Structure 1
């Protein structure tokens, strides 16, 4: 019996038009990556499990897809773990590899392995798929594409300034106006945890705070209480749930709230540096906003944190994010290597552009001209012109079968092919090609050379 055709939840097939739209986004991003001086690299689809595990916090670890060892994997299974139903220890004994959760940790591994071949500071970009065992929903997939750029080997805050400019440049090119670049600093969060006396619960504090837009103020407070953060401590940070005003106003409020925290003051100084620089370098279409509740649950951020929100009229989660990590490569033995990076969420950007109807009309055009097939002799005559058109970088094709004219014209119409060439016996005798514009219905005969000129400039 034939098996049912299906794909796993959280994955997708892409049609030719969808692929063209995705390529439009990725090529736009890649163009700006190169303009800003980033170099491309690629890393494997899967990594050793110990490369990934323990790098994303407890929540992230649960979302890593593990790959069973090949062969009789149960033969090497930890019997104690199996008998005791200890899934974590059992998994480590039967799975030595895992699909990559993001591009940043594999990049850190790459830097350490290739440190003697790299010129620092190293600016790299990567556009590859990543995998997360998440619950699928709109804008959230188990396989999706990340477009990352990182600078490693420099602690200069000018990198953060340039990344904000990079975001602005990309979204301006995509004509996606009204994007908000939210920014915070991990040192601000450390300062908040310090002033309320909960420094030892920094990770629990930031993970809960990062969920504010999903579960609301009361939900965040409940999670903090469940993690052992006291009610009095939560009351002391109440002002951050109601921070309003522009960037400068929020900075002023933070200075008051964190006046007794040295690390908090450091975070404020870094935010002020970036803000003042961007006052002299105005953004084109994006808006910069200070969001003190922005935490992002990833453990490795140590400085600036970024998250990108789509225009308010579109209901969508973040479409990008990133931040500063002062010692990410330290997890692989290379100490004191500061870095900062950002990511574009291609799949969510796609959904936003689709909803706002921002894809260029020409994306729909794959083939520029279709030659109608009237038979063997006519097909050979058509292919002579087609071959020269392709040499001139004009996409052209011959309908493969000598089917009825209506079927061939319908095929061209459904594929949004703008031109059709009809070349039967009379055209062959006159050594011309009859070109029809599918949008206007106009027709005219051209010699082969004139046809090529016409289609090259059209």
Structure 2
């Protein structure tokens, strides 16, 4: 007995309806990306091993899918490494390529490789799958899409203001009301660590602070103490645990807290510029919030940090994020190329729209009319009408076989097709078509011109 086929853990098949919904989200993103002047690029699904390795830290490197060399992949392997089973040293000899882990490093490689062809500032968007050898769990897959928009070659804070507007435009178009766009700044976090005397503990401090909404105030303090941050230092950041008010009020509180830190105050001024411009321009349906506990990608981001959360009525975490990075291309030798970018979480956005019932009915609308097949002569008569209807944008098809009419109707019912078109000898003789509504059961006989209107 043949073994039942399956797919690798952490991957998925998508049904026609699911693909239609995903494509709907992507089409909305593309529309707004291009409206904001972003240009599409694509990079290979796999890169050279050396391009990816060492760019994500030890944990990230471990999650990269390596591709074995073609043919006898052990031919070039060092005998000593084979004997000692030194997989770290052996891997680079038997695997010269790897599946891309994200879109950021390939984008950095693209910019460096094509720098003489690119007009800077360069506004790029990219929507492609990535692969990670992560442990599969709910909402986390080994193959998934990233949807990124970045601007490189400019330090202007207007870029950050525009990216907030871009988030708002996409989510408003998708019908998502109440999305919160959180913003913070790496310089603010550095400034806080400086004024409390924990500059050497910046990473430990911010990682703990970032968990405030998960473990609460006492949990954060406990972790800070365990990381060696003094109790007096923790006491100085007490205001952060009850950091409330409007964006402007929070900015004023930060100004007072960071008055003695030049770097911290620079971060406050950057936040002030971005927030003021965004609020003055206005947002459609999103909420802008200054969140001083936001510390995502701290080793990567150098300025503004973004995180987008779903409406409160949906139990879903981040559905987007990004920030400013000052040296994206430095890993490939091109220094001083500042950039800022954001990413949309396609899978999570899909789940939010599904839970909130926000997908338009037309998204999954398939074939509208099925022409019943009574035989070759009738089928040919139908095909002439089908060709005309398709040229006008109608989704119609002919049942391919001369089967029992009841079977053809059942097929239409299972497919969710609203209309059946019957073209027997009587219709052919009169140059007419019988249109049957499969939902109401009503039917009428009419010429092609009227059929076209009915299906419109």
| Smaller-chain TM-score bracket | over 0.9
CA change 1:92–1:230 in 2 (3 A) is: farther
The whole-number CA distance in structure 1 between the counterparts of 2:326 and 2:39 is 21
The whole-number CA distance in structure 2 between the counterparts of 1:417 and 1:164 is 41
In the TM superposition, residue 80 of structure 1 has moved relative to its aligned partner by 5.8
- 1:252-271 aligned within 5 A: 252-271=252-271
* Paired residues of 1:326 and 1:339 also in contact (CA < 8 A): yes
Aligned to 1:454: 454
The whole-number CA distance in structure 2 between the counterparts of 1:91 and 1:196 is 45
CA change 1:48–1:168 in 2 (3 A) is: same
Aligned to 1:2: 2
In the TM superposition, residue 232 of structure 1 has moved relative to its aligned partner by 4.6
Aligned to 2:71: 71
Aligned to 1:278: 278
The whole-number CA distance in structure 2 between the counterparts of 1:230 and 1:68 is 49
- 1:39-438 aligned within 5 A: 39-77=39-77, 87-214=87-214, 216-217=216-217, 220-221=220-221, 224=224, 228-297=228-297, 299-438=299-438
CA RMSD between the two structures: 2.2
Q: Could you list the per-position Cα deviations for residues 368-391 of structure 1 after superposition, in whole angstroms to 9, with x for gaps in the alignment? A: 211011122211111111111112
In the TM superposition, residue 362 of structure 1 has moved relative to its aligned partner by 1.2
The whole-number CA distance in structure 2 between the counterparts of 1:437 and 1:272 is 60
Aligned to 1:12: 12
* Paired residues of 2:186 and 2:298 also in contact (CA < 8 A): no
Q: Could you list the per-position Cα deviations for residues 105-131 of structure 1 after superposition, in whole angstroms to 9, with x for gaps in the alignment? A: 211110110000011111111111112
The whole-number CA distance in structure 2 between the counterparts of 1:291 and 1:130 is 29
The whole-number CA distance in structure 2 between the counterparts of 1:227 and 1:69 is 44
Structure 1 residues 94-103 or 305-314, which shifts more? 94-103
In the TM superposition, residue 266 of structure 1 has moved relative to its aligned partner by 0.7
The whole-number CA distance in structure 2 between the counterparts of 1:227 and 1:96 is 39
In the TM superposition, residue 448 of structure 1 has moved relative to its aligned partner by 2.3
In the TM superposition, residue 208 of structure 1 has moved relative to its aligned partner by 4.3
* Paired residues of 1:319 and 1:349 also in contact (CA < 8 A): yes
In the TM superposition, residue 63 of structure 1 has moved relative to its aligned partner by 2.8
Name the SS of the counterpart of 2:318 in structure 1.
Answer: coil
* Paired residues of 1:372 and 1:422 also in contact (CA < 8 A): yes
* Paired residues of 1:56 and 1:299 also in contact (CA < 8 A): no
Aligned to 1:439: 439
The whole-number CA distance in structure 1 between the counterparts of 2:233 and 2:76 is 48
Report the number of matched residues. 456
Name the SS of the counterpart of 2:308 in structure 1.
Answer: strand
Name the SS of the counterpart of 2:26 in structure 1.
Answer: helix
* Paired residues of 2:203 and 2:298 also in contact (CA < 8 A): no
In the TM superposition, residue 441 of structure 1 has moved relative to its aligned partner by 2.8
* Paired residues of 1:57 and 1:298 also in contact (CA < 8 A): no
* Paired residues of 1:206 and 1:297 also in contact (CA < 8 A): no
* Paired residues of 1:147 and 1:343 also in contact (CA < 8 A): yes
* Paired residues of 1:57 and 1:299 also in contact (CA < 8 A): no
CA change 1:317–1:71 in 2 (3 A) is: farther
In the TM superposition, residue 199 of structure 1 has moved relative to its aligned partner by 3.0
Q: Could you list the per-position Cα deviations for residues 157-193 of structure 1 after superposition, in whole angstroms to 9, with x for gaps in the alignment? A: 1111111011111111100111000111111122123
In the TM superposition, residue 60 of structure 1 has moved relative to its aligned partner by 3.0
Name stretches of at least 5 consecutive residues in structure 1 with no aligned partner.
Answer: none
Aligned to 2:25: 25
Structure 1 runs (4+) greater than 6 angstroms displaced: none
Name stretches of at least 5 consecutive residues in structure 2 with no aligned partner.
Answer: none
